[in-house]
Amino acid sequence: MKYRTFGKLGIQGSAFGLGCMRFNGAASGDSVIDEQKAVSLIRRAIDGGVTYLDTAYVYLDRTSEIVLGKALQDGYRDKVTIATKMPAEHVHNRAEMEDLLAEELKKLQTDHIDFYLMHGINREKWEYFKSIGAPEFFEEMKKAGKIRYKCFSFHGPYEDFEYIIQDNDWDMVQIQYNFMDVNSQAGTKGLKLAGSLGIPVVIMEGLLGGRLAKAPENVQALYDAFPVKRSPVEWAFRWLCNHPEIATVLSGCNEEGQIDDNLRIFDTVEPGIMSEEELKLMDDVRQAYLSRTKIGCTGCRYCMPCPNGVNIPGIFSAWNDVALYNAEPSEHYGLREIRSNDQGADHCVECGACESACPQNLPIIEKLKEAWKELGG
């Protein structure tokens, strides 16, 4: 296992951090956990050198912290740092923040949390956290020794990230980043900004939740043609670890084989390890994925709101995702949300309001029909 320095904190952590959100392959919040298997996977990772464990209050129907707490008995707690999170939806005032932190400490069977994160914030959630006094609460808990570092995890556009990271004194940030997300979410610009401020960056969704682990044919052909043979997973992690700003790359593993594979990969990766040829390969791989794009919707939302409730950018985004990564429509989280919120293309009455507003001049009505058919209607 390679260990890396956490920016201005100066501490060392394992390059591979175990994400505790996916122990049986299910997305957060809708699964029943196999406790014995999860404990054994966590300990296997720690025995292999992992020192960074990431969980959250809401993961796996709120059972992830409990299982992690059990896995960290028998001396394992002293070998690792724990990251867990405060969800905005569950706290409305100081008393509720205190209660939530106390509950998390109890579930984790520990007297302190190392990295405490405001969970999945964008600018709106950050303003909310400020309005209830969360930054001050985190500082007080640091002084009280209940948490060591004040951090946030981020989902949103770069502009929000740039604002949030400079609006407070943060110890660490966690962002979604991988070779496909260079220009989305915080993106490469966000990573570099954090690095310039000395703030360590922890990466989530390095494999896009597993989608980058299975290359479609045109991408696999590029990997196969390269003189050095590596799996898509190894290429993705190697590309990430090439960035010196990154402290730890999280990955949620479901099987012993995945843990072992990742332990092997993270034994070899260091900043600056990628050659010119390898970086060129990853640029070509990104283009090969993008060539599978179904529609050039930029997600600007000028077409919204649709008077009939159709989630136009959401449907186009799901259509592109499914095509890019050869994914199953039924497993696409955003699409499932669209269906359960009744925002499908079947509600389109072809009024044309969206088409006249679209700066890309997309034939939205026709493309919505095509997308909805391919996504299963």
Ligand X SMILES: NC(=O)c1ccc[n+]([C@@H]2O[C@H](COP(=O)([O-])OP(=O)(O)OC[C@H]3O[C@@H](n4cnc5c(N)ncnc54)[C@H](OP(=O)(O)O)[C@@H]3O)[C@@H](O)[C@H]2O)c1
Tell me which residues are annotated as active site. 59
DSSP character string of 249-316: EEEE--SHHHHHHHHHHTTT--TT---HHHHHHHHHHHHHHHTT-S-------TTPSPTT---HHHHH
- Helices 276-290 and 232-241: crossing angle in degrees, nearest 10, is 120
Q: How far is the CB of 358 from ligand SF4 (least distance, A)?
A: 3
Among residues 252, 266, 317, 321, which is the contact residue for ligand X, using CB under 6 A? 252
User: Among ligand SF4, ligand X, none, what does residue 286 contact (CB within 5–8 Å per kind)?
Assistant: none
* 306 touching ligand SF4, by CB under 6 A: yes
- 287's tokens: 């283009």
User: Among ligand SF4, ligand X, none, what does residue 181 contact (CB within 5–8 Å per kind)?
Assistant: none
Among residues 32, 102, 221, 300, which is the contact residue for ligand SF4, using CB under 6 A? 300
**CA 271 – CA 248 distance, rounded (Å):** 12
Our CB check for ligand SF4 shows the closer of 55 and 311 to be 311
**CA 105 – CA 174 distance, rounded (Å):** 21
Q: How far is the CB of 125 from ligand SF4 (least distance, A)?
A: 22
* 376 touching ligand SF4, by CB under 6 A: no
Q: How far is the CB of 325 from ligand SF4 (least distance, A)?
A: 20
With a CB cutoff of 8 Å and minimum separation 6, the contacts of 347 are 306, 308, 309, 310
User: Among ligand SF4, ligand X, none, what does residue 222 contact (CB within 5–8 Å per kind)?
Assistant: none
The β-bridge relationship of strands 16-19 and 12-14 is: unpaired
* 365 touching ligand SF4, by CB under 6 A: yes
* 46 touching ligand SF4, by CB under 6 A: no
With a CB cutoff of 8 Å and minimum separation 6, the contacts of 339 are none
Our CB check for ligand X shows the closer of 64 and 306 to be 64
* 197 touching ligand SF4, by CB under 6 A: no
Our CB check for ligand X shows the closer of 63 and 262 to be 262
Subset of 325-364 contacting ligand SF4 (CB under 6 A): 348-354, 357-358, 360, 362, 364
User: Among ligand SF4, ligand X, none, what does residue 206 contact (CB within 5–8 Å per kind)?
Assistant: ligand X
Residue 320 CB neighbour total at 10 angstroms: 19
With a CB cutoff of 8 Å and minimum separation 6, the contacts of 179 are 212, 236, 239, 240, 282, 285, 286
- 338's tokens: 């669209």
**CA 174 – CA 152 distance, rounded (Å):** 6
Which span (1-9, 213-221, 294-302, 327-335) binds ligand SF4, by CB under 6 A?
294-302
Instruction: Classify residue 76 by burial, with Cβ atoms within 10 Å: 0-12, 13-18, 19+.
Output: middle
93 phi and psi, to 5 degrees? -165, 175
**Position of minimal CB gap to ligand X:** 19
The residues that touch ligand SF4, with contacts defined as CB under 6 A, are: 297-303, 306-308, 310, 312-313, 316, 348-354, 357-358, 360, 362, 364-365
The residues that touch ligand X, with contacts defined as CB under 6 A, are: 19-22, 25, 54, 119-120, 153, 155, 174, 204-210, 213, 233, 250-254, 258, 261-262
